[in-house]
Chains A and B, each alone.
Chain A
Amino acid sequence: MKHHRVLRVAAKLLIPFILLFALYVQFHGDFGPGGGFQAGVIFAAAFILYGLIFGLENARKVAPPALVTRLVALGLLLYAGVGYGGLLRGGNYLDYGVLLENSVAGQHLGILLIEFGVGTTVAATMISIFFLFAGRDT
């Protein structure tokens, strides 16, 4: 898409805001509508847009597939790890209240980490699905 200047300029303008909006949806999820699922998909959309406009090769440089695959696993590990954290501190599995001395602060920390794990996994999964389909030669 070398010659589509309008598309390239528009995409360059849009991508930072898409990423920013994704981060807003991710971290504002504590107080308003939002959360990891939605944020992850929006975040991945920015990468997919980049891949569509600037080509798969460039997109792979920005988000190396090996790293993306690892992030899928790491997000899930973070989620499960927070759950085990609750166990270690004497609560039930996924009980965030016990993570910190103050139960409300613990709830905040817990849901933040959990949603971050979800967001990471969802974004990485979406990007790797895009890579896998777009990377087929046939």
Chain B
Amino acid sequence: MSGLAAHLPALQVVVPLFAAPLCLLAGRAGLAWLIVFVASCLATATAAGLAYQTFQHGTLSYPLGGWAAPWGIEYVVDTANAFILLLVSAISTVVLMYAPASVDREIRQGRRHLFYCMFALCLTGLLGIAITGDAFNVFVFLEISSLSSYALIALGGHRKALTASFQYLVMGTIGATFFLIGVGLLYMMTGTLNMADLQARIPAIQDSRPVLAAFAFITVGLALKAALFPLHLWLPNAYAYAPNVVSAFIAATATKVSLYVLLRFTFTIFGAKFAFLDLPLHWVLLVPAVIAMFAGSFSAIFQRDVKRMLAYSSVAQIGYIVLGIALSSAAGVAAALIHIFNHGLMKAALFCALGCIFHRIGSVRLEAMAGLGREMPWTMAALVAGGFSLLGVPLTAGFISKWYLIEAAFEAGLWWLVVLVVLSSMLAVVYVWRLLEALYFKPVPEGRAAVAEAPLSMLLPTLLLAAANIYFGLDTRLPVEMAQSAATILIREQIW
């Protein structure tokens, strides 16, 4: 490999990073949008290129500044993080296509170029977390993405966005600091921050107390960032009051990236034997995951604000992903990765569709949305596709993830888990039904003027995401094959 192709790992992060200050200098919303959009398209192309390269050549390593690992910071790309990079950058590109109309309506003039600047930084952070092979570097990128997402959430129109953002800031900082403590303890014991080097050195000292403490701190810190029950308290308000573009982007990517880091640390760096056989991580993850599946869905049923409903449903869906991780088998991890991908697609589609509705009627409460099914048919089609995918109706992406999850649970001999997954899906039927009932079977509230279909610039990306939910339910090769190959890379020691 030579030329540009050899430098793709660095470009993956620094192209969006470069876009951020340019947006600040541009000063105008239109120009800033164009800069971020081009950067995001380039990032998607880069991620696709990297995914292709990992298929051809296996794991890629890129020493930044020419300083070889383990001394320098190294970017490492294998199928596992190429998969995450592809998801994050593709969602970002589609959401950005959708952004201008939505941002013009929801964010005050004069702040819009700053919005795009923050968006670029958030994208940089998320891509950086996924690509870096250095444990401390993960913290730095985690904070870049978190700080910019606090600012993005605070831009929401309602004043509750401010308190939601503050709450997220406090809990997010605690989570990131926990992670930092864990990394510090590991450095103290091993003298290295490079992930591959850590992996080689930890087994010799894995029974020492600092390593055990480090593992606990890292797991809890990441669970907080990933909003695993009961550490999800920041999530519902943050998603509900953020601008619609931000909800769509963050809901589809931010928690997923934290879950990827959790996978990387548990299975690759500490190793499954240490985490699941020496320590009871199995139960530590399984119990909250199952409670999340039920508590999240149950809370979603009682929400009248549909964005909040979807936010609680995210809590439940994160439960499914963590359930896959807790199974600790290759099939379980693959199921978790497939659901990371599919859940990103469905939540992006749903939040984008809600953004279209908000654009037209200025509210996303159930009563305000009554009878919209006939007036905004295309938006509603996207909403229905996303909703069905969320339920796991056959021929949608959601069905595929549930299928692989149930298969993994059977393989582990945990048939009661299968029952629980199916039961909690029934709860999802209830809240999605409430949404559909309001849209199609409730009369139009009196005094509401006729509502037009959403503008094309918002509708097309929404439909694209909805179509992706159907497409990946029919043609499952890309997510399933990548996830299965990623799972075998992530798990360095099989325990089952």
Contact = CB atoms under 8 A, between A and B. Distances in A.
A–B touching in complex (CB under 8 Å):
yes
A80 B14 contact: yes
Given A80-B17, A92-B66, A87 B22 contact: no
B21 A72 contact: yes
Interface stretch (B57-65, B95-103, B164-172, B312-320): B57-65
Contacts of A93: 7, 10-11, 14, 62, 64-65
Contacts of A80: 14, 17-18, 21
B460 interface: no
A94 interface: yes
Given A92-B64, A93-B14, A87 B7 contact: yes
Interface string B15-43: 00110111011000000000000000000
Interface string B435-466: 00000000000000000000000000000000
A94 B64 contact: yes
Contact of A73 (B10, B14, B22, B62): B22
Contact of A76 (B11, B21, B63, B65): B21
Contact of B62 (A72, A76, A86, A92): A92
A113 to B, nearest CB: 13
A73 B20 CA distance: 8
A94 B65 contact: yes
A119 interface: no
Contacts of A83: 10, 14
Nearest to A76: B21
Interface string A52-76: 0000000000000000011011101
Nearest to B17: A80
Interface in A75-94: 76-77, 80, 83-84, 86-87, 91-94
A96 interface: yes
Nearest to A80: B18
A92 B14 contact: no
Contacts of B63: 92
Nearest to A121: B21
Contacts of A92: 7, 10, 62-66
B10 A69 contact: no
Interface string A2-30: 00000000000000000000000000000
Contacts of B22: 73, 77
Contacts of A74: 21, 25
A70 B17 contact: no
Contacts of B11: 93
Contacts of B20: 76
A132 B89 CA distance: 33
Interface string A96-109: 11000000000000
A70 B21 CA distance: 9
Given A80-B14, A87-B7, A93-B10, A73 B65 contact: no
A117 B403 CA distance: 52
Contacts of B21: 72-74, 76-77, 80
A80 B39 CA distance: 14
Contacts of A96: 65
Contacts of A91: 66
Nearest to B6: A92
Contacts of B25: 70, 73-74, 77
Nearest to B25: A73
Nearest to A78: B21
Contacts of A69: 24
Nearest to B10: A93
Contacts of B10: 83, 87, 92-94
A74 B18 CA distance: 11
Contacts of A70: 24-25
A87 B14 CA distance: 12
Contacts of A97: 66
Interface in B237-296: none
B228 to A, nearest CB: 34
Nearest to A72: B24
Contacts of B62: 92-93
B414 to A, nearest CB: 46
Given A72-B21, A73-B21, A92-B65, 13 more contacts: A73-B22, A74-B25, A77-B22, A80-B17, A80-B18, A84-B18, A86-B65, A91-B66, A92-B63, A93-B7, A93-B14, A93-B64, A93-B65
28 contacts: A69-B24, A70-B24, A72-B24, A73-B21, A73-B22, A73-B24, A74-B21, A74-B25, A76-B20, A77-B18, A77-B25, A80-B14, A80-B17, A80-B18, A80-B21, A83-B10, A84-B14, A86-B65, A87-B10, A92-B10, A92-B65, A93-B11, A93-B14, A93-B62, A94-B64, A94-B65, A95-B65, A96-B65
Interface of B: 7, 10-11, 14, 17-18, 20-22, 24-25, 62-66
Closest 3 CB pairs of A and B: A73-B21, A93-B10, A94-B65
